[in-house]
Structure 1
Amino acid sequence: MPDDATPDPYADPLAFGQRMQILRTRRGLSRPVVAGLLGMSPSWVKQVETGQIGMPKLPVILRIAELLRVRNLSDLTGDQSTPIDLFVGPGHSRLPAVRDAVNALTLGEDRQAPSTQHLAARLAKAWAARHQAANHREVLGQLLPDLIRDAQLAVRQSDSAADRRAAQAVLSEVYSLSQFFVAYQPDSALLWRVAERGMVAAQESEDPHAIGLAAWLATQAHRDTGPAHFDAADSMTMEALTYMERFLPDADDRVHAIAGALQFEAAYTAACRGENGAAWGWWDMARATAHRLGRGYYHPMTSFSQAIMGAHAVTVAVELRAGGESVRQAVAADTSSIPSRPRLARHRIEEARAYQLDGQAETALATLEKAHKAAPETIKYNGYARRIVLEETESKIPARRQRAAALADQLGLLAA
């Protein structure tokens, strides 16, 4: 390794301050910017990074971890003995069965595969069940193994090129549904395997809806991996939008909805970069697409609709670290038209981030309690919610600390 190479923040025995400086530099943030976002002075940041001040307390560490988009606290603290995953939830009891189905080759299957129409109907019911259930991961964990195997078998037994393309489209969307189950569980390799297989099947299908949906999920997977993968997320989004453009004049509402969902993903990634103008510009494009679809339209996979644009506005403002604007958007958002319980819970979590960013910690906790009521399995696997709850368990205000502890217990964060 050359002498001027950037040190590896994951190599011991680097101190907390050294790791913080390296991770901050890799994200391209200056000390004054980090200080402002943390509510500290630039000299405080410098003293921490140079070791003049020791490791901060947990609430501050959690705030730094979110700002630097650290996925595991041990990456920042260097303590590998008790890692706390911020953006990876607990492994679901049905994860092994889903993993086995994904990995199966179906080479020895001698039964007749269900028809593509039958599989499409089952898939539609599975998507609906996912939106309606509070314990949506449990529901998906029951449905996915058989659905994955049957869709794989349908592709293998296709008699014609047209039948094979139709089966590939269904298989791709089965993999897309699978990503909602696998995401934020402790098997990142499985997540990427599902995402890649879904994209391959979508391309084989030549179906613009399947391709757009696979790209939408792949964009999220790249972005969630961290700032080093923002370019890959943007590339995926733009390539998919360019491909779909030729189909839009004659496309049905589903394809237009996927295009709108991808436009929002461009807004989301721009917001993560801190690009205010680009973020709101792409959000405006997505909103225009939603309005063209009409007030009553709701895409069954992405939740793209007019109703969701208010929730998306909260996310953009939060990622831009605009506390006042994010709260304004949270107050303005109409959640009454979001029929999906997990999507509503996700919106509540984004609202909680907005309130905490604005210094309204009590309201943030109350909003997370609403998220838990809507869909407990959504908040349990969400890293931002876990971070807020853990931070507030160390609040100096006893009532708030007790409220956070009760929610942490419900989420399983206090388990030994």
Structure 2
Amino acid sequence: MSPDATPDPYADPIAFGQRLKILRTRRGMTRSQLGGLMGMSDEWVKALETGRRKVPRLEVMLRLAEVLRVRDLSDLTGDQSAHVALFTGPGHPQLAAVKSAVDAFPVATVREAPPAEHLAARLAHAWAARHKSPEHRTVLGGLLPDLIRDAQVAVRQADRAPDRRAAQATLAEVYSLAQFFVAYQPDAALLWRVAERGLIAAQESEDPHAIGVAAWLAAQAHRDSGPAHFDAADAVNLETLRYLEPLLPDATDDVLAITGALTFEAGYTAARRGETGTAWRYWDQARKLAKRLPDDYYHPITSFSRAIMGAHAVTVAVELHAGGESVRQAARADAITIKSRPRRARHRIEEARAYQLDGQPDVALATLDKAHEAASETIRYNGYAKRIILEEVEARQPERRRRASELAVKLGLLAQ
């Protein structure tokens, strides 16, 4: 290796501090930024990186992994016996089948496309099944391969320009559904392929709702890639909002809702940056858009609605690491009103993060139990839930250790 090359923390037997510095640099973070997100100083980070401070205890290590979006704890510790995937799920049995369908290139296929109405009905059924099932990835894994292939063929076989645009809108929505399945699974390249194809199909459709949904998911993919990608998330998000804004006076409920969802996403990214005022300003703008929707309206993809704004408030407060405010927002939010089981489970996980931030680990574990009841395949793939559980497995209190261990077994973190 060249003396000027950056060591690879995944291959070279280097010290913890060196790993920390490399991973921080790869995320595009300064010592001050990392220290601020940890509630510490840049000198604290420097002391860790230079070896002047000892390797931190487990709860601090897990927090570092969360902030740096480290996929596996051993990548940070260097201890391969501590192999724990944090932000990547275990890989669903149907992942290969979905990947095969995404990768197909149906140029000369003899497969006949189903009627547009039939394809739309199947897609609506798939969304409804996802929202209702606690094992939503398993449900989608069975539906997506044929749905993807048929939507691809429908675009290829559309003869008239209006039919082709409508087929592209359907294909974009199928890719959006696929992104929900692929997210947090161990194939980042596939996730980006799905996101990019969704954006292209949406643009070809010229359908504002399809464009908004594809941008909403692309912004999330960028943001979840770490601080170095926050600007890219904002670029996609804010450009799409500028496109949608002139349409709002006469917009359908679905277009109004995806605009609200995108507005909140801008606040979510701001909260990740630690920009308190900006985060809450976007949240308030999203709440005003939600108030223009009917009381019982739920966006079929994002769950954006009046009811979801309480859950969004919890997320903003948690991302800003405001423990007391997070708990206050959690008390105001009513998870029962969230119709989608995966979205309800995600909200319970955000509540658990709030209680953990506020020094209430027992309540956090009880809340994660509720998340598991709502949608087991949401919590199983969620890095924040894993972090809380792994931290409490090391707790001094026997009862807390027992509850955390039971959850760890449910999630497959520990063998039974």
Q: TM-score, normalised by structure 2?
A: 0.94
- In the alignment, structure 1 residue 313 sits paired with structure 2 residue 313: yes
What code does the residue aligned with 1:68 have?
L
- In the alignment, structure 1 residue 129 sits paired with structure 2 residue 129: yes
Aligned equivalent of 1:357 = 357
CA contact (8 A) 1:31 1:45 kept: no
Aligned equivalent of 2:286 = 286
Q: Secondary structure of the residue that 1:184 maps to in structure 2?
A: coil
Offset from partner CA, 1:141-171 (integer Å, 9 cap, x none)? 1111111111111111101111000000000
Aligned equivalent of 1:60 = 60
Aligned equivalent of 1:408 = 408
**More divergent stretch after superposition (132-141 vs 67-76):** 67-76
Return the offset for 1:335: 1.9
Cα distance change, pair 36–114 in 1 and its aligned pair in 2 (3 A): closer
Give the distance between the partners of 2:230 and 2:6, measured in 1 at CA: 20
1:16-415 pair list within 5 angstroms: 16-24=16-24, 26-30=28-32, 33-34=35-36, 37=39, 45-79=45-79, 83-415=83-415
Offset from partner CA, 1:363-393 (integer Å, 9 cap, x none)? 0000000000010000001111111111111
Q: Give the aligned CA root-mean-square deviation in angstroms.
A: 2.3
Offset from partner CA, 1:267-301 (integer Å, 9 cap, x none)? 00000000000000000000000001132111010
Give the distance between the partners of 1:408 and 1:178, measured in 2 at CA: 27
CA contact (8 A) 1:35 1:42 kept: no
Q: Secondary structure of the residue that 1:331 maps to in structure 2?
A: helix
Q: Secondary structure of the residue that 2:338 maps to in structure 1?
A: coil
Give the distance between the partners of 2:207 and 2:33, measured in 1 at CA: 47
Offset from partner CA, 1:185-233 (integer Å, 9 cap, x none)? 1111111111111111001000010000000000000000111100000
Q: Secondary structure of the residue that 2:342 maps to in structure 1?
A: helix
Give the distance between the partners of 1:4 and 1:312, measured in 2 at CA: 45
Return the offset for 1:257: 0.4
Give the distance between the partners of 2:130 and 2:368, measured in 1 at CA: 20
CA contact (8 A) 2:32 2:42 kept: no
Give the distance between the partners of 2:231 and 2:169, measured in 1 at CA: 27
What code does the residue aligned with 2:226 have?
G
Return the offset for 1:397: 1.0
Cα distance change, pair 34–23 in 1 and its aligned pair in 2 (3 A): farther
Cα distance change, pair 81–335 in 1 and its aligned pair in 2 (3 A): closer
Return the offset for 1:106: 2.5
Cα distance change, pair 111–66 in 1 and its aligned pair in 2 (3 A): closer
CA contact (8 A) 2:111 2:153 kept: no
Return the offset for 1:75: 3.2
Return the offset for 1:336: 2.4
What code does the residue aligned with 2:414 have?
L
**% of aligned pairs identical?**
69
Give the distance between the partners of 1:49 and 1:24, measured in 2 at CA: 10
Return the offset for 1:5: 9.0
What code does the residue aligned with 2:139 have?
V
Return the offset for 1:17: 1.9
Q: Secondary structure of the residue that 2:107 maps to in structure 1?
A: coil
CA contact (8 A) 2:31 2:45 kept: no
Unaligned runs of 5+ in 2: none
Give the distance between the partners of 2:126 and 2:337, measured in 1 at CA: 21
Cα distance change, pair 223–389 in 1 and its aligned pair in 2 (3 A): same
CA contact (8 A) 1:349 1:379 kept: yes
Cα distance change, pair 266–34 in 1 and its aligned pair in 2 (3 A): closer
**More divergent stretch after superposition (16-25 vs 150-159):** 16-25
Give the distance between the partners of 1:32 and 1:217, measured in 2 at CA: 26
What code does the residue aligned with 1:180 have?
F
**More divergent stretch after superposition (133-142 vs 241-250):** 241-250
CA contact (8 A) 1:35 1:45 kept: no
Q: Secondary structure of the residue that 1:306 maps to in structure 2?
A: coil
What code does the residue aligned with 1:72 have?
D
Cα distance change, pair 242–411 in 1 and its aligned pair in 2 (3 A): same
**More divergent stretch after superposition (54-63 vs 305-314):** 54-63
Give the distance between the partners of 1:44 and 1:144, measured in 2 at CA: 48
What code does the residue aligned with 1:373 have?
E
Return the offset for 1:7: 7.0
What code does the residue aligned with 1:250 have?
D
Count of residue pairs brought into register by the alignment: 414
